[in-house]
Amino acid sequence: MSVSALEGAVVVEQAVGTWRLRWQRFRQHRGAMASLVALLLLLAFVLAAFPLQPLLDIDPYATDLLARFDPPSAQHLLGTDEAGRDVLLRLMIGGQVSLLVGVLATAIGGAFGVMLGVSAGYFGGRLDEFLMRFTDGMIALPLLPLLIVLGALDLTKLGFSAEFARSGAAGFWRIVVIISLVDWTATARIARASTLSIKERDFVRAAWASGAGPLYVMATHVLPNIATPLIVAITLTIGRVILLESVLSFLGFGVVPPTPSWGNMLNNAQELVTQAPALAIYPGLLIFITVIAVNFLGDGLQHAFDPRSDR
């Protein structure tokens, strides 16, 4: 049999996409799949505020002192809080705020950390040295007290208008900024260290030999190979950011009322814990479920991205 005849007999199999293989592996991780479902449900829950608000015809910001601590009813499905506001709607809207802060601060801080870490590891030199010194210093700081100080800063002294400083938007963006400001260093360090080890591998040399530039190598070889530690780091960051937002808002230095967030809804919960324990339970439970789901998701992604890991 000649070689060409053999070639004709071979069925040329099409390559399955890398992502499909990853999805197949992800689905094996039961905790992660359950978490994915839980997160989608949570998303649906917080977005349900949009149709529900006109449907029930409730203003979630209007206080009604005659209807404080109302039990659940047809109109107020979870009852009302200490100011007579609908608990269910505020949980939904507070969830939107909390999740948005978590995703935004992680995205900003994570993107910054990955860019800086990968560049520092890939190019080395001064940038690398500075980054390492800086993150060393950052890690050695008491995080929460400093965040509280940053959360307490008088924005007018930084040149913002008094009107903006008092607005709800200022409170929202302030917490996004201060959290992303402090929470990129872990990602950057992991990105740097992983990049350093990948850069020395022969498959990177092979790409260079074929004429690949830094951007191609970073995107094709470095990022996928450092994805596992990065995804874990970034996912853990989301969980940490949501927790940070909640504790800052709870302490009164994060998202400020009347804008609800799961954290600041617990503001008064401590005094009310005997009177209305449910009010103290719901928001915290939602934070808990969100963060644990996010953490399991990270675990599942790690499994999906690392062909060698077997659980």
Partner 1 sequence: MARFMLRRCGETLLVLLIMSFVIYSLIGLMPGDPLDVMLASAPGVTPEVVAHLRAIYGLDQPLLLRYWHWLMAALGGDFGFSRSHAQPALQVLAPALVETARLMLSAFTLSVVLALVLGIVAALRPGRALDSIISLAAFAGISVPVFWLALVLILVFAVELHWLPASGTTALGEHGFAAHMRHLLLPVVTLALFYTGQFSRFVRAAMIETLRMDHVRTARAKGAPERRVVLVHALRNAMIPVVTVMALSFGTLFSGALVTETMFAIPGMGKTIYDAILGNDYNLALTGLLFATLVTLLSNLVADLAYGWLDPRIVLT
Partner 2 sequence: MTALVELDRVSVHFDQRRGLLGRRSVLHAVEQVSLTIAEGETVGLVGESGSGKSTLGHVIAGLRKPTQGEMRFRGHSLDRATRRVAQHAIQIVFQDPFGALDPRMPVSAIIAEPLTINRIGSQAERRERAASLVHDVGLPQDALNRYPHEFSGGQRQRIAIARALAPNPALIVADEPLSALDVSIQSQVLNLMRDVQQQRQLAYLFISHDMAVVNHLVDRVAVLYLGRLVEIAPRAELFARPSHPYTRALLDAVPRIGHFRARHRTIQGEMPSPLAPPPGCVFHPRCGKAQDICRVTAPELLPAPGRPAQLAACHFKD
Q: Give exposure, 134-165, as e/b (b: 16+ Cβ within 10 Å).
A: ebeebeeeeeeeebbebbeeebeeeeeeeeeb
In whole angstroms, how large is the CA radius of gyration of the chain? Answer: 24
| Nearest distance from C-beta of residue 32 to partner 2, angstroms | 19
| Contact pattern from residue 113 through residue 152 relative to partner 2, giving x for each residue in contact according to CB under 8 A and a dash for the rest | ----------------------------------------
Helix (H, G, I), strand (E, B) or coil at 200: coil
Nearer to partner 2, 71 or 214 (CB): 214
Query: What does the DSSP 8-state code read for residue 86?
Result: B
The values of phi and psi at residue 148, to 5°, are -65, -40
Among 131, 176, 227, 301, binds partner 2 (CB under 8 A): 227
Among 224, 258, 277, 288, binds partner 2 (CB under 8 A): 224
Nearer to partner 1, 119 or 267 (CB): 267
How many residues line the site for partner 2 (CB under 8 A)? 31
d(C-alpha 179, C-alpha 13), whole Å: 49
Is residue 199 within 8 A of residue 120, CB to CB? The reply is no
Residue 295's binding partner out of partner 1, partner 2, none, with CB under 5 to 8 Å set by partner kind: partner 1
Nearer to partner 2, 112 or 216 (CB): 216
Asked if 5 touches partner 2 (CB under 8 A), the answer is no
d(C-alpha 162, C-alpha 21), whole Å: 54
Residues that bind partner 2 (CB under 8 A): 6-7, 10-16, 18, 21, 201-203, 205-212, 216, 220-221, 224-225, 227, 305, 307-308
